[in-house]
Each structure stands twice: as C-alpha cells, then as structure tokens.
Amino acid sequence: MGGLHVIATERHESGRIDRQLFGRCARQGDPGSAQAFMSMDDELFRRFIPAPMRNRLAKALSIRAPGATILSEAALQHAQNAAQRLAFRQRRNVLQMDTWLEEALSFTGAGSEF
C-alpha cells in the first residue's frame, strides 16, 4: 500500500503526544497507518491504574470478554488523564516555588533604583 506505518510499543502519558505520533503516518494526503500495542505491565498502567482493576482488565482481555476493548480504552484514557493532572500539579508547584523564591531572595524593593 505504501506510506508510513507507525508502530507504538507503549503509550505516552499525554494523549496529545500519542495523537501527534499517530498523525505522522499520513501527511498531506499520503497513505499511512498506525498501530499501538499496550501491556498491563506498562509504566503508565502500573502507576495510574490500581492493581485490582488491572487484574480484572487483564482477565477480561484474556478471555476476550465482550466490551473488554472498550474497557481497556477507558483505562488508558483514565491513566493518561491522571498522568496529565499530576504533571500539571507538578508544573504549578514549581512555578509557585520559583515565584516564592524570587520574592524571598530579592534584596531590593520594587522601587529601588540601583
């Protein structure tokens, strides 16, 4: 068929990065395709999906239960959202600490003319 085929062996913590990667497969009308493989042992799932939920999802996928694919997509979405919320809180805390340090360590006032 031609074109680029993107194979992702794990998903990123940000869904935006995944979409950008998958968008690389077909540009300006060129043919392309993308495929992603996930494992319950991926760091994203281990960090952001509770173990009991991972175990139930793994069992549902292994027996090919109806709706297991939809459940796995929902679990991925939940994990990515949780990772993005954590990253946002970390960035906000760094910004707050930078602001506090700037104010605490400034020896000259705002009106000083040195």
DSSP states of 19-56: HHHHHTTS-TT--EEEEE---TTSHHHHHHS-HHHHHH
How many whole angstroms separate alpha carbon 35 and alpha carbon 25?
10
Taking residue 20's Cβ as centre, other Cβ atoms within 10 Å add up to: 11
Residues with Cβ < 8 Å from 1, sequence gap 6 or more?
31, 33
Tell me whether residue 113 is in a domain: no
Pair 78, 50 in one domain: yes
The model's confidence at residue 111, banded by pLDDT at 50, 70 and 90, is low
pLDDT band at 24 (very low <50, low <70, confident <90, very high): confident
Is residue 85, in this structure, part of any structural domain at all? yes
CA distance 48 to 54: 10
Domain that holds residue 91: 40-106
pLDDT-above-70 percentage for the chain = 93
- The C-alpha atoms of residue 66 and residue 56 are separated, in whole angstroms, by 13
Please state, for a pLDDT cut of 90, what percent of the chain lies above it: 64
- Same domain? For 32 and 15 the reply is yes
Please check whether residue 64 lies inside any domain of the structure: yes
- Give the global pTM: 0.78
Q: Is residue 79 part of a domain?
A: yes
Split into its structural domains, the chain has a count of: 2
Tell me if 69 is assigned to some domain: yes
Whether the per-residue pLDDT at 28 is higher than 80: the answer is no
Are residue 20 and residue 60 in the same domain, yes or no?
A: no
Q: Does residue 111 fall inside a structural domain?
A: no
Residues 78-109 have pLDDT tens digits of 999 999 999 999 999 999 999 999 888 887 65
For residues 56 and 94, membership in a common domain is answered with yes
Task: Answer yes or no: is 114 within a domain.
Answer: no
Same domain for 29 and 85? no
pLDDT in the model for residue 57:
94
Highest mean pLDDT out of 17-21, 34-38, 40-44, 86-90: 86-90
